[in-house]
Chains A and B, each alone.
Chain A
Amino acid sequence: MKPEPDRLDVRVTSEMDVVEARQKARLLALRHGFGTVRAHGIATAVSELGMNLVLHTARGGLIHLTAQGEAGAAVVEVVAEDEGPGIPDIALAMQDGYSTRGGLGCGLPGTRRLMDEFAITSEVGRGTRIVCAMRRP
């Protein structure tokens, strides 16, 4: 029998929420047998996605964290969604060094490199949804 997935949601509107979200993500990963490096990676990805919610949307957004799996393999999924302005050019946003807010421009591309799976959908005026996941080898 498959164990129930471990789920939690964090509403992110301020930097302190980002801190809470990434701490929870890290603990979730460690609880599911991830090593410290990968748990740190997941926490960093949550931090990047969370800061995007804070910096690019007026009302913030939600970060859903799910961990699922048995002894053999586990996966932590991070979903960040908002009803913000949306990203007009996703290809551009995924480019290294591109930033609209004076950042380093490695948040989204870096997150893609950190995680094993990464998908982004965005609609201008409707919002953005990013789904990414890391597997425990």
Chain B
Amino acid sequence: MHSIGQIILDNRGAVLDAWLERLPGGAAGARPATFQLLKIELGMLVDKLVAYFNAGDHDLGGPLFKPVEDQAATISAACARDGLTPLETATLIMSLKTITRDLLDREVGGDRDGMRIGVDAVVDRLALVTFAAFVETREDIIQRQGRALLDMATPALPIWRHIILMPLVGIIDTQRARQVMEWLLEALAREEAHIAILDVTGVPLIDSRVALHLTKTVEAARLLGSQVIVTGISPDAAQTLVKLDVDLSSMITRGTLQVGLAEAFRLLAQRNQGMSGSPF
């Protein structure tokens, strides 16, 4: 009498083909790259399953099952990256139940010695592992995209000697506000800038929280001896800020970036005039 491990091993090719047939959209429907990748990875999963079944110690929490779980997690992560839905991914793993059931029916004429229960328990466990890995991968992707977006959205550009421009685009939450302040101060020091223009044209809404962060940033820059010009507050936002009674009198504000730049040149000229006569 063959063991379940041996039966699967003897029919490795058939099991794998049946499995690939069950890819979302069928073997023919899957993208070639995905198909090739999954063929290899599912093959490795079959091998690791065989090794686990043959080892004899059927403990799902034990060290022998770990390689199987890891392999399932790898497959799930690959599916998540390739844009398969969680349902498709879980269905793919769960389809192993039907495949082994068919296999057992064919090879030993039905269930023997609780083989099927053993396999079902393994597949159930793998489905859970797969789901967890899938979510984890997606979370990871989302987090990385978030960071990439954050980096992209806040450049500090030296646009003239002693003048830097920081256009803010998008939603300013606490984390982003903190980062804007950090980067602006860093850029001021790095570029030896006297003036920073903070353009908020791309910021959809300025509430008291954002206003607070703007004020703090302006204040911190002032401590470095630099001036900040805030440009691009929309007429809608201006009327709202007045009603909120946010005190922005400590900042230089200009309607548009263009006017802000003119103001920056004026301030720079003023500074240089003050310098004339000094050895610097």
Contact = CB atoms under 8 A, between A and B. Distances in A.
Do they bind each other? yes
A51 B209 contact: yes
B174 A113 contact: no
Given A44-B205, A48-B208, A110 B246 contact: yes
Nearest to B175: A15
Interface string A111-136: 10110000000000000000000000
Interface in B195-254: 205-209, 211-212, 215, 234-237, 239-240, 243-247
Contact of B173 (A15, A36, A96): A15
State the majority secondary structure of interface residues on B: helix
Nearest to A110: B244
Contacts of B37: none
B208 A107 contact: yes
Q: Bin chain A's interface residue count.
A: 20 to 34
A60 interface: no
B108 interface: no
B243 A114 contact: yes
A134 B27 CA distance: 58
Interface in A16-49: 16, 19, 22, 36-37, 39-41, 43-44, 47-48
A86 interface: no
A11 B209 CA distance: 20
Nearest to B146: A16
A48 B209 CA distance: 8
Nearest to B170: A19
B135 interface: no
A19 B171 contact: yes
Contact of B205 (A22, A106, A113, A114): A22
Given A16-B173, A37-B235, A37-B236, A114 B209 contact: no
Contacts of B236: 36-37, 39-40
A96 B245 contact: yes
Given A47-B207, A51-B207, A114 B240 contact: yes
A81 to B, nearest CB: 20
Interface of A: 15-16, 19, 22, 36-37, 39-41, 43-44, 47-48, 51, 96, 103-104, 106-107, 109-111, 113-114
28 contacts: A16-B173, A19-B173, A37-B235, A37-B236, A40-B240, A41-B239, A41-B240, A44-B205, A44-B240, A44-B244, A48-B207, A48-B208, A96-B245, A103-B209, A103-B212, A104-B208, A104-B211, A104-B212, A106-B208, A106-B244, A107-B208, A109-B245, A110-B208, A110-B243, A110-B245, A110-B246, A113-B245, A114-B244
Given A40-B205, A40-B234, A110-B245, 18 more contacts: A15-B173, A37-B235, A39-B236, A43-B205, A44-B205, A44-B244, A47-B207, A48-B207, A51-B207, A51-B209, A103-B209, A103-B212, A104-B212, A104-B247, A106-B244, A107-B208, A110-B246, A114-B240
Interface of B: 171, 173-174, 205-209, 211-212, 215, 234-237, 239-240, 243-247
